[in-house]
């Protein structure tokens, strides 16, 4: 059971209550509606009862978010590609299609379920019962390297390195078009989209929302109407590579959320049955949180990405 939190602030625009609070708090409108229904929302000191009520800009709000009761993840005998393991941590090569931890819609079959079985339940408890050992994530349909903490000491040490951006992470991606210039840096705040709360977006420079994100990219090879690029992350924001590449007009091939595959290349992806974003977490380097030794790992892209690169390179 987690701890509840209280969020306070002022409404930034006059609108329906659920819409205004979703904008001000970054909760989804559905989540706001549910909190209103349970009496957890106050406007100007009075309990709100209707999500459709009009609220004026400048009104004060208070949202009392109750503790989240997380379902405890169960061990499952699912094969794992283990790259490195010791008593404190484990590095795995996650296949595309596997969710990292249980959540709504994905109660089992996740990397956490597999790890609980493989590690006999010995994972860091800092992330809670639904996310034991999880220090960082990669998207369901992104393949590649992920480090997981087995001890609390390792979890704390890894989390500190992620926070100060000292962990080295490089991704391979296939993007639409040929970036010009062929290498550079994409920088900007990433936050939830106003039009679709399930999407992230690059926010205006003066926005107070979202989190600062930096991606360095380099073209490795120009392909047919596309390019193989390497992305080095300074930060690790949700969907960072996908959002940043789309923001410069070079969305990742196969990405169903942030881009449309060029018409010329759709028959190729269909023929190869390639139906995910072309993104692979290729390398991961960090200071071992217990020994202090620098360790680094790399992973070749899986067969589906190699086939895509080969086909587009002909």
Nearest to 108 by CA among 149, 76, 69, 141: 76
Which entry of 18, 139, 141, 255 is annotated as an active-site residue? 139
- Measured distance CA(2)–CA(129) in Å, rounded: 10
In a 3-state reduction of DSSP, which class is residue 246? helix
Helices marked H in 227-300 — which ranges? Answer: 240-247, 266-272
- Residue that is written with structure tokens 């992806």 in the block: 269
Cβ atoms 280, 301 nearer than 8 A: yes
- State yes or no: is 139 an active-site residue: yes
b/e map 15-53, b = 16+ CB within 10 Å: bbbbbbbbbbbebebebbbebbeeebbebeeeebeebee
The residues assigned a catalytic role are 139
């Amino acid at each position: 059971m987690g701890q509840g939190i209280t969020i306070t602030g002022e409404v930034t625009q006059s609108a329906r209550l659920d819409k205004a609070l979703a904008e001000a708090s970054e909760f989804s409108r559905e989540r706001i509606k549910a909190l209103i229904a349970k009496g957890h929302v106050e406007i100007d000191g009075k309990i709100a009862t209707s999500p459709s009520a009009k609220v004026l800009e400048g009104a004060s709000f208070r949202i009392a978010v109750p503790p989240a009761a997380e379902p405890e993840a169960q061990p499952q005998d699912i094969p794992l590609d283990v790259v490195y393991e010791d008593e404190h941590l484990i590095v795995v090569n996650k296949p595309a299609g596997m969710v990292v931890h249980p959540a709504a819609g994905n109660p089992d079959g996740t990397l956490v379920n597999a790890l609980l079985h493989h590690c006999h339940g010995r994972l860091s408890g800092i992330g809670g019962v639904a996310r034991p050992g999880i220090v960082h994530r990669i998207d369901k349909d992104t393949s590649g390297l992920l480090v997981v903490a087995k001890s609390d000491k390792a979890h704390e040490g890894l989390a500190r390195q992620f926070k100060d951006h000292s962990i080295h992470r490089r991704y391979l991606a296939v993007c639409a078009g040929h970036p010009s210039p062929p290498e550079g840096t994409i920088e900007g705040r990433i936050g939830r989209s106003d039009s679709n709360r399930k999407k992230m977006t690059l926010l205006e420079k003066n926005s107070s929302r979202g989190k600062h994100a930096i991606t360095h990219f380099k073209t490795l090879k120009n392909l047919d109407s596309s390019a193989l690029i390497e992305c080095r992350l300074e930060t690790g924001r949700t969907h960072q590579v996908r959002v940043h590449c789309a923001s410069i007009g070079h969305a990742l091939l196969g990405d169903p959320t942030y881009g449309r595959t060029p018409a010329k290349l759709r028959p190729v992806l269909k023929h190869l049955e390639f139906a995910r974003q072309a993104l692979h977490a290729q390398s991961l380097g960090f200071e071992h949180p217990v020994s202090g030794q620098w360790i680094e790992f790399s992973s070749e892209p899986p067969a589906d990405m190699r086939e895509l690169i080969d086909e587009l390179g002909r």
